[in-house]
Amino acid sequence: MIKLVLFVLVVFVSSTTLFSQNEVIDKIIAQVGDNIILLSDIESQKMQAVQAGVEVTSMMDCSILEQLMSEELYINQAKLDSLIITDEQVDAEMENRLRVIQSKIGSREKLEEFYGKTITQIKDEFRVVIKDKLLAQEMLRTITENVTVTPKEVHTYFNSLNSDSIPFINMKLSFQQIVNYPQITKDDKLIAFKKIAAIRVDIVTNEKSFETQARIQSDDYGSAQLGGKISGSRGMMVSQFESTVYKLKVGEVSEIIETEFGYHIIKLISRKGDDYVCLHILKRPEFNNKALDLSSNLMDSCYLLLKQNKITWDEAVVRFSNEAITKQNHGIISNPYTGDQSWSMDDLNEIDQQIYLLTDAMEKGDISSPNLYMDIYERKQGIRIVRLMERYPQHKANLVDDYALIKVAAENDKKQKVIDNWLKAKMGNAFFRIDDDYINCNFRLNWIAN
């Protein structure tokens, strides 16, 4: 299983070699201009599909090969057009991919051990290939950036679909909320500061184990289970935290620093370039019971005013909510996965199970009584009232209820036609060679003729 996971590291870009019992079994299967495509490139993409839970079929090889040949044309044109991909973009993309791999294998040390290279060496090896991937994406964006669809085109697209091609839309819901978080006072912050100051004294002066104190005392529950351990790279953490890490010497424990999350102390374990491993303890200021009672009383008043129709929902949001994001948007809770205002049941169960339980028996426009609420992102506790904004039952897609969804599909269809026409134009001026094993592929475009 660990090899399956780590194969993704080789394919977070395209790998260049396959091995079986230490014998190379790779070969060139296509050439586009001066660039070659290897059998291992195909296998890499298939392994990524396996990791994503996609069923791999025998037809995949041909579609992947066509995708890779298209990418070579995008990259070549991007270089001719002098499209710019900055080092910062490459570093950010590299870091994102490494984080995914790290989450699967467990740590950066295990990743380095398996791959036999340091993180810095891995980044250096794949920097050019990652940049090419980003160039291809930027070229695609450039080709389609001016593609739009009119209402007439949306209707024409929908009417052209076979009845069997029109998808069923699963039930979705949309919600609004009013949240009031109890206020953190100076005294609350002082209590948290004194707690972490005492912990620091126990570590620095009384020589207690940083790891043990992190497991027992830290309010960052994710890292606490690992003894406070965090493996990171530049840009991953908030600025105050990161600047402290880069000032520390190996083995040194920081002074107390404050961020938006609370008070921290940090111990540097190792640093290689922009990559580091540190231990970390967090103490979050906690509100007192009086502040919680005040929020509870405010939300009880809000609920009563709403039930008696003495205040509109929008007025209540402005008057009683102190949650910055939803307060500016009528209390609407956006789905962080899709950016939409509607939620599928799967997303709800993963992100906010409580909200479904609160609204399961509600009708459109109903509101819940005030309930305790925990923001899973900032781990802040508050009191909230939830309103069921809309319930969309399962149905076959139609232009009235699902116009936005159909518009996206129509726009994507139009973009694909623009891309295909662009590829056809470029194919006529490029050299192609395809291995005999793939010559009978049923490609979407006529690559063989070139």
d(CA 132, CA 120): 19
For domain 2-146+412-438, the CATH class is: mainly alpha
Confidence of residue 206 (pLDDT cuts 50, 70, 90): very high
Q: How far apart are the first and last CA of the chain?
A: 42
Q: Average pLDDT of 125-146?
A: 92
Q: Average pLDDT of 227-251?
A: 90
Q: What is the pTM (predicted TM-score) of this model?
A: 0.59
Residue 314, pLDDT > 50, answer yes
At residue 231's C-alpha, the angle toward residues 229 and 237, to 5°, is: 100
pLDDT above 90: percentage of residues in the chain: 48
Burial of 133 (0-12, 13-18, 19+ CB in 10 A): buried
How many beta carbons lie within 10 A of that of residue 176, not counting itself?
Answer: 23
- Tens-digit pLDDT profile for residues 47-102: 877 766 677 787 888 999 999 999 999 999 999 999 999 888 888 888 778 777 77
**Domains 2-146+412-438 and 172-183+288-396 alike in fold:** no
Exposure of 191 in the CB half-sphere (CA atoms within 13 A)? 9
Burial of 199 (0-12, 13-18, 19+ CB in 10 A): buried
Of 19-33, 49-63, 388-402, the poorest mean pLDDT is in: 19-33
Residue 310, pLDDT > 90, answer yes
Copy the structure tokens of residue 372.
Answer: 């305790």
- Tens-digit pLDDT profile for residues 151-198: 999 999 999 999 888 988 888 889 999 999 999 999 999 999 999 999
Residues forming beta bridges with residue 275, ordered by sequence position: 233, 272
d(CA 183, CA 285): 10
Maximal CA-CA distance, the chain: 78
d(CA 288, CA 211): 29
Copy the structure tokens of residue 143.
Answer: 């080709």
- What pLDDT sits at residue 26? 79
- What pLDDT sits at residue 9? 43
**Average per-residue pLDDT for the chain:** 86
- What pLDDT sits at residue 72? 92
Copy the structure tokens of residue 357.
Answer: 């339980």
DSSP 324-354: HHHHTTTTB---TTT-SSEEEHHHHHHH-HH
d(CA 30, CA 28): 6
At the topology level, CATH places domain 172-183+288-396 in Chitinase A; domain 3 (3.10.50)
Q: Which residues contact 388 (CB under 8 A, 6 or more apart)?
A: 173, 174, 175, 359, 362, 363, 364, 365, 366, 367
- What pLDDT sits at residue 450? 54
> Running DSSP on this structure, what letter comes out for residue 22?
T
Q: Average pLDDT of 307-311?
A: 95
What strands, in cross-sheet order, belong to the sheet with 28-32?
Answer: 35-38, 28-32, 432-434
Most confident of 15-29, 60-74, 228-242: 60-74
- What pLDDT sits at residue 406? 92
CATH architecture of the domain covering 186-283: Roll (3.10)
Three-state secondary structure call for residue 310:
coil
Of 12-16, 105-109, 252-256, the poorest mean pLDDT is in: 12-16
Residue 377, pLDDT > 60, answer yes
Residue 287, pLDDT > 70, answer yes
- Domain edges within the chain: 2-146+412-438, 172-183+288-396, 186-283
289-307 helix and 313-320 helix, angle to the nearest 10 degrees: 160
